[in-house]
Structure 1
Amino acid sequence: MGKTQLAAAYAHQALTEGVELVVWVDASETEQVVGCFADAARCVEAPQAELPQGPEDLARVFLDWLATTSRSWLVVLDDITDPETMQPWWPPQSVNSRGRVLATTRRHDALLSGGGRAMVNIDTYSAEEAGIYLYERLSSARATHLLDDQTEALIKSLGCLPLALSHAAAYMINEDVSCAEYVNRFNHSAATLDDLFPRQSDTEGYGRQVATALLLSLGVAQACEPVGLAIPALRLAAVLDPAGHPHSLWASDAVSNYLCRHRTSPADGPAKVAPDQARAALRLLHRYGLLTDTAQAGSRAVRLHALTARAVREHTPDDAWPGVVKAAVDGLTEVWEATSPFDRERLAVLRTNIDTLDGCTGDLLWEVEGHHLLRWAGRTLTLSSAALPYWQRLTANSERLLGRTHPKTLLARRDLAWTYFLADRPKDAFAVLQADFPHQDRRLAPERLATSQSRRRHVDAIVLLEDTLAVRERVLGLDDPVTVECRGNLAIAYWEGGKTAEAILLLERAVSSWQRMLGAEHARTVSMAKLLQSWQTKRKRRWWSSKGSSRATPQEAGACRP
C-alpha cells in the first residue's frame, strides 16, 4: 500500500541529510538478505571481510561492523515476509546510536514489535488525498482532460490504494483513457489485472504487480498452520464485500464444510475443520496482510482490499468456483437467519455482501440455488429508491434463468408488484398481478389436490389415535403416563384437523393429569399449559372475528405445535 515508495523517500532523505551508508535490502527472501549483507561487508571493508568464508559468515561480519562503527548508517529491509527467519539477521543497535533500521512488511506479528522496534501502520489514501494525487499526476502530464464525473468512482473502485492509483494514472496517460472508460474496463468481467496494470506502466518504481505480490504471500501462508486453509479461505473472502463481513460467517457449518472439502493438507493431517481452525485461518491471512481481521469493527470485522479480492478471483480455477459460491451462499444464509429483523446495521452489511457476491459471480449464483439471498436483500430495500430497479432486474433474471412460470419467478414478480404499489404505481402493480393469474392458478391446482389428500390422511391418523387412546385407557388406566401422552397427541391432532373445541377439552384433561403426576412446575406441565392457553386465546379471537366460527386452518394449528 505504498510502503516501498515511502521507504524509498525516507532513504533518499537520509542521503540528503548526510547519512554515510544506506543499504537497501529486498527482504522477501532470507537468502537475499544474507547475500546483500555479505556484499555490504566487502563494500565497507569490514574486518575479516577479506578472509575466504561463506555468505552467512560474511553477513555476520557486516552485522558486527554495524554494531561497532562510528559511521552513520541506515538499513532498509523491504517487504519482510517471514519475521521469524529474519530474527538472526536483524541489524543490531549501534553503540554510538548512529544507526537506524527501517523495515516494511504486510505482516502484523507481535514479533515485529520486540527489541525496541516501533510499528507504524501505513494506511491507504483518504478519498481527498487520492483525488489530489490523481489530479497532480495527470496535471504533470498535461492530461487533466481525462478527469470527468467518474473520478470519484475510479478512486472508490481502486480502494484509494496508492499502488493502484499510480498504475491507473500511468495507464490513463499512456492510452489516453478517461476516468469513466477506465472504470468501465476495470469492472468488465473479461478484464484482468495484467491488462489494466501492464509492466510498462510501472513508472514510479513499484516493481511487482498486485497479483504477483499476493501470490507470493499466499504461497507461504498456505504452508503455515493451519496448513492448507489459506487459499480456500481467501477465495471465499474474495467473493464478499471488501468493506467487511461478520466474524460469525466463519463459525457457520457451511464454511466449516467448505474448508474441509477444499483443504490441502498432509495425508496424515486432520481432515475435519472446526470453527476455531477457520478462525486460525483468518488470523493467518491477517498476519500476512492478505486481509484485515479486526473484532472491534463489528459486523465488518473481516475486510479484504478490493484489488486483493480481484487478484484472488482472477487466479481461482474455474472448477473451484461452484464450491466457493455455494459456501458463500450457505454461510450468508445461516448468518441472515440468525440475525434479528430489527438489527438494521447487520442486515445492511449482509445486503452489501450479497450484492458483491451477485456482482462477481453472475449466473453461477443462480446455478447453485442462491437466488433466495437476492430476494431477501431486495425486501430490505422496500422504502429505498433503489428498490424498483432492483426488483425489475431480479425479475428479468429469474425469468431468463428459471423460466416465466417457475414458482420462484412468480414470487419475485409478486414482490415487484408490491414495490410498484409502494412507488405509487398501482396500474403497473395490477398489470403484473393480472398477468400472473393464469400461471398462479395452474401452480395452485396440484397443491389443492395434495392438500385434499393430506386431509384424508390426517383423518385416518385421528381415527388411529382415538382407537389407541381407548385401548390404553382400558388397559393402563386414565392417569397412566403413556395414556396421558397419547391424550395430548390426540388433542394436537384434533386442533390440526380443525376440531378446536374437542382439542381444548382433551388438552385440559391432559394438563390436569400432568399437574397431578409431575407437579405444576415441571417443564412438561408448563409447556403444555402454555399451549393450552394459546389455543384458548386463538379460539376466542377467531370466534369474535368470524362470529362463532371456530375452525382452525392447518397452518394455524402447525404454529401451535410444541
Structure 2
Amino acid sequence: MAEPLGTSNEISGAVRNAVQAASVHGDAYVGGVHHHHAPEVRWPCRVGVVPLGADRFQERDLSAPLADAIGAGSTAVLAGMGGAGKTQLVAEFARLMWDTGQVDLLVWITAAAQEAIVSSYATAAVKIGQSAGERDDQEASDRFLEWLAATDRRWLIVLDDVQKPSDLRGLWPPRQLTGRVVVTTRRRDAALTRRGHLIEVGTFTAVEATAYLRTKLADSSASADGAAELAAELGYLPVALAQAAAYLTDRKLTCAAYLQRFVDQRRRLHEVVPEPESLPDDHRATLAATWSLSMELADQLAPAGLALPVLELAAVLDPNGIPDAVLTAPAVLEHLATRLGAAEPVEAEDVREALHGLNRLSLVIVDSDDPHRSVRIHELVQRSTRDRLGDEQLAIVAHAAADALMSAWPQIERDTEYGQVLRTNTDTLHRRTRLWHPVLSRAGNSRGAAGRVTEAAEYFTALRSHAMQRLGPDHPDTLAIRHNLACWHGESGDTAGAVGELEDLLTDRSRVLGVGHIDTLYTRHELARFREAVGDVAKAVAEYEQLLAESTERLGQEHIDTLTTRHNLAYLKGSTEEGGAAIVDIEGLLADECRSLGSDHFNTLSTRRTLANQLGKVGDVMDAIAKLEELLVDQFRVLGPYHPRTLMTRNDVAYWRGKSGDAAGAVAEFQELYADESSVLGPSHPDVLITRHNLAYWRGRVGDAKGAVAELQDVLSDQSRVLSPDHPSILSTRHSLAHWRGEAGDAAGAVDGFATLLADRLRVLGSEHPDTRRTRDDLARWQGDAGDVNESGK
C-alpha cells in the first residue's frame, strides 16, 4: 500500500515492536494497517441534539422532585402518557446541567429503537476518543459503556422516548458515582421502572395550565379570556395546550371562541389543532396522532388484538373512573368476542390483561385496589380513540357499554359511592354518544333512590325533552319517562303537580297501550299513592281497592305488583282509623311475600318495617322497637349499613325509643345516625335533614326548648334550599318549629307559625287530612294559651 505524501515511518532491521517516543503527526501505518489518528477531545463534550426549549416553558411542581431524583450516581425513569411534557422537563434539566458546568459529557439519545441507542453510543465513543471509527457500532458502543463505568468524568445520559424495555437489554449505562441516567417513556413495565427513581409525569395542574396559556398568548393578538375554562376542557395536557395556543393564535381566536370549536363533537380532533407543518415547539405529531403508536404497541401485547377494542369501550365512559365490573360484564365479553371474530370466548381475565397492557403504554391508569374506579383515562385519549371509529361502529360500542352498565347495576344499591360512579358513567356515555337505552332511566331513578329527589326530577325533565324529539310523544319510552318525572316531582314535594301529570299520563297510556297494560296499571297505582299525599284519602283507598282487584285478576295474587298494591292499601288504612285491621292485613301480606319473594327481598323487608311502625302507632311501642331492631340485623346483612332504607329503620328505632319515654336515648341514637348519614349522604341530603329535625325535636323533649327552636330554624333554612316549599318535610319542620316556639315561651310565635302552616296545609292537603286536623288542633291550643279565646273557640 502506498503511503500518502509526507508520511515517513520507516524502521530497518529485525524489530518485533517499536515505540515512537515523539509525537506522531498524521496517520500511521504499522504492519501494513492504516491507523487513523484519534481526534482531540474537547471537554465538556455534548453528543446528540437536546430539543429546543418550549416557547414559554412552564415551571412545574415536578421540577424540584426531578432535580432531587437525578443526583450524582442515580437513575431516574420519567413515565407518563404521550404529550405530558416528559421530554421538555428533562431537556430543561439537561440544559441547566450543561450551562452551569455540572457535567463534562452530555449525551441525548432519541431512544425509539435499539439501533438508535447503539448508534448514538458509538458516536459518543468516537467523540470522546474511545473509538477511531473503524470498529462496528456494537463494538464502539461496548467501549463507550466500559468507559462510562471507569471514568471520573461527570456525565449525563438521556434516553428519550424508550418504546420497548427490551431495546435497553445490555445497553443500560452503568451505575457510577459520577454519572446520571434519565429515561423518558410511555411504558410502565417493571423492567424500566425498577431501574431507578420512578417519576410519574401527569398533566399540568390547573394553575400551571392557565398560567401557561396566559403567558403564551400575552404577546399575540389572541385573547386569553376563557383560558381557565379552555385549560380544563383540554385536561391540562401540555401538548394539547401548546397546539391549541398555536391554532388559536394563527386564526386570531379567543380562548372562548376556540373552546366552542373544540367541544363541538361534530369536529374531529385533527380539525381543531394545527396542521403537521405548523406544529409548535418541534412537536413530532399532531394531538390526534400523539397516541397512535402507543395504541399499536398495546394491541400487539398479549392477548393480541384486544387492547384497542377495550380502549374503545373505555373511550365512551367516564374518564375519572370506570368500574372493573362494567369492563368485564358479560355484555362486554360478548361484544369483544364478536369484534375479534374469536372462535373462543373472551374471558374477564383477558380484558384485565388488555387493560394492563394499555396501562403499560400509559394509555390508561389501572388501579386494582379501587374496584369502583379501576380504570382512568385522559379525555383526549378518549376523543382520539372515538375519532378512529365510524358512526356505526361507535353506536355498537356505545350499546355494549350501556348493556354492561345495566348488568353491573345492583338491584339494591347498598354502596352509595358505587351508585354515583355508575350514574356518572351513564351520563358520560349519553353525552358522548347520544345513545338511547334503558340505562338512562335507571340512572335517573338511582338519583331519586339515593335521596336526590330534586336532581332526579331535573334529570327526567331533560330526558323527556330528548325523548319527545327523538322518539315522539306516544313512544312507550317517552311515556315511561313521563311516569318517572311525575313521581319524582311528587317525591320532591309537588304532590298536586304529580297528580295532574299522572292523570294526563293515564289518559295517554290507556289510549296507546290499553287499560289492561301493566304500565297503565302502574300509573294508576302511583296516582292513588299521590292522591293520598294531597289528602284525598277516600279516593286513594277506592282506587287501590279497584286496582287490587284488577291486578289480582290480570297478574295473579302473588305477582309483585299485586303484592305492592296490597302493601300500599294496608299502609293507607293504617294511617286512618283502621289501624288494627291494617295490622292483620300487613301480617297476611308479609306471610305471602316471604313465600313468594323470599324473606330477604326488598319488598319483604319494607313490609316488615311497615308492620313494626304500625304496631307503634296503635300503642305497642316496645314490640315495634323489638321488630325494628330485628329488621336492622337483616338490613345490615342484605342492604348494607349505609343503605337509605337501613338508615330509615335506625331513624324509626330512635323515634319509638323516644315515644317509649326514653327521650335521652332517642337523642343519643339520632346523634349517631346524623353522624353516619352526613358522612355517607352529605349534609344536604333530605334524609339527613329529617334526622336533624328529629334530633332537634327530642332535644326539646329533654328540656332544651330554645335549643330546639334554633336548630329547627337552621334545618328549615337548609330544607328550603333543596326542597320545594310544599314538601312534606318542610311542612313537618314548620309544625315542630311552631310547637317549640310555644314551649320556649313564645305563644304568639307559635300561633303565627301554626296559622300560616294551617293555610298551606289546607291548600296542599285539604281540610280532612290528618296533618291538617292536627295543625288546626295545635293552633287552637296555642291560641288559648296566648289568650285569644275567641279565635281558639272557632
TM-score bracket relative to the smaller structure: 0.7 to 0.9
Q: d(CA) in 2 for partners of 1:13 and 1:407?
A: 68
Q: d(CA) in 2 for partners of 1:384 and 1:56?
A: 70
Partner of 1:348: 420
- Structure 2: segments with no counterpart, 5+ residues: 1-83, 522-551, 559-566, 600-794
Is 1:283 matched with 2:356? yes
| SS of residue in 2 equivalent to 1:88 | coil
Q: d(CA) in 1 for partners of 2:345 and 2:213?
A: 48
Q: Which one has a larger percent helix, Structure 1 or Structure 2?
A: 1
TM-fit CA distance, 1:379: 4.0
Q: Deviations over 1:348-376 (max 9, x none)?
A: 111111111011111xx22x665444544
| SS of residue in 2 equivalent to 1:37 | helix
- The structure 1 residue matched to 2:318, chosen from 214, 231, 241, is 241
| SS of residue in 2 equivalent to 1:159 | coil
- The structure 2 residue matched to 1:410, chosen from 476, 479, 496, is 479
| SS of residue in 2 equivalent to 1:445 | coil
Is 1:131 matched with 2:210? yes
TM-fit CA distance, 1:293: 0.5
What pairs with 1:133-532 in structure 2 (closer than 5 Å)?
A: 133-141=212-220, 143=222, 145-148=223-226, 151-198=227-274, 199=276, 202-263=279-340, 271-337=344-410, 340-362=412-434, 365-366=435-436, 370-376=439-445, 379=448, 383=452, 386-421=455-490, 429=498, 432-445=501-514, 447=516, 498=557
Partner of 2:111: 27
Structure 1 stretch displaced more, 432-441 or 13-22: 432-441
User: 1:131/1:498 Cα in 2 relative to 1: closer, same or farther (>3 Å)?
Assistant: closer
8 Å CA contact retained: 1:72, 1:98: yes
Give 2:200's aligned amino acid.
N
Is 1:11 matched with 2:94? yes
| SS of residue in 2 equivalent to 1:236 | helix
| SS of residue in 2 equivalent to 1:216 | helix
TM-fit CA distance, 1:113: 3.4
User: 1:544/1:395 Cα in 2 relative to 1: closer, same or farther (>3 Å)?
Assistant: same
Give 1:221's aligned amino acid.
A
Is 1:90 matched with 2:127? no
Q: d(CA) in 1 for partners of 2:247 and 2:213?
A: 12
TM-fit CA distance, 1:159: 1.4
Q: d(CA) in 2 for partners of 1:127 and 1:549?
A: 58
Partner of 1:78: 160
Q: Deviations over 1:146-201 (max 9, x none)?
A: 313xx433222111212222222222322222232222211111222222221355
User: 1:404/1:8 Cα in 2 relative to 1: closer, same or farther (>3 Å)?
Assistant: same
8 Å CA contact retained: 1:229, 1:264: no
Query: Could you tell me the percent identity over the aligned residues?
Result: 32
Runs of 4+ in 1 over 6 A off after TM superposition: 449-452, 540-543, 546-553, 555-558
TM-fit CA distance, 1:429: 4.7
Partner of 2:85: 2
Q: d(CA) in 2 for partners of 1:2 and 1:556?
A: 62
TM-fit CA distance, 1:104: 0.6
TM-fit CA distance, 1:548: 7.8
Q: Deviations over 1:303-328 (max 9, x none)?
A: 00111111111112444323311221
Q: Deviations over 1:409-430 (max 9, x none)?
A: 1111122233444566667655
8 Å CA contact retained: 1:286, 1:292: yes
Q: d(CA) in 2 for partners of 1:67 and 1:131?
A: 44
Q: Deviations over 1:14-43 (max 9, x none)?
A: 211222332222222223223333333333
Question: TM (normalized to structure 2)?
Answer: 0.53
Give 1:275's aligned amino acid.
A
TM-fit CA distance, 1:384: 6.5
Q: Deviations over 1:248-286 (max 9, x none)?
A: 223321222222222377xxxx72221122111111111
**What is the aligned residue count?**
468
8 Å CA contact retained: 1:79, 1:104: yes
8 Å CA contact retained: 2:509, 2:520: no
Q: d(CA) in 2 for partners of 1:322 and 1:13?
A: 51
TM-fit CA distance, 1:396: 1.8
Is 1:99 matched with 2:179? yes
| SS of residue in 1 equivalent to 2:157 | strand
Q: d(CA) in 2 for partners of 1:549 and 1:352?
A: 38
Q: d(CA) in 1 for partners of 2:519 and 2:483?
A: 23
- The structure 1 residue matched to 2:581, chosen from 535, 540, 544, is 544
Q: d(CA) in 1 for partners of 2:453 and 2:140?
A: 68
Partner of 2:630: none
Q: d(CA) in 2 for partners of 1:251 and 1:205?
A: 41
Structure 1 stretch displaced more, 419-428 or 153-162: 419-428
Q: d(CA) in 2 for partners of 1:285 and 1:550?
A: 56
TM-fit CA distance, 1:76: 1.1
8 Å CA contact retained: 1:71, 1:98: yes
TM-fit CA distance, 1:100: 1.5
| SS of residue in 2 equivalent to 1:89 | coil
Q: d(CA) in 2 for partners of 1:201 and 1:248?
A: 43
TM-fit CA distance, 1:445: 2.6
TM-fit CA distance, 1:394: 0.8
Structure exhibiting the larger radius of gyration computed from Cα positions: 2
Question: TM (normalized to structure 1)?
Answer: 0.73
8 Å CA contact retained: 1:233, 1:282: yes
8 Å CA contact retained: 2:130, 2:144: yes
Q: d(CA) in 1 for partners of 2:218 and 2:204?
A: 19
User: 1:498/1:72 Cα in 2 relative to 1: closer, same or farther (>3 Å)?
Assistant: closer
Q: d(CA) in 2 for partners of 1:205 and 1:305?
A: 23
Partner of 1:39: 123
Give 2:212's aligned amino acid.
Y
User: 1:114/1:548 Cα in 2 relative to 1: closer, same or farther (>3 Å)?
Assistant: closer
Q: d(CA) in 2 for partners of 1:161 and 1:384?
A: 37
Partner of 1:110: 190
Superposition RMSD on alpha carbons, in Å? 3.7
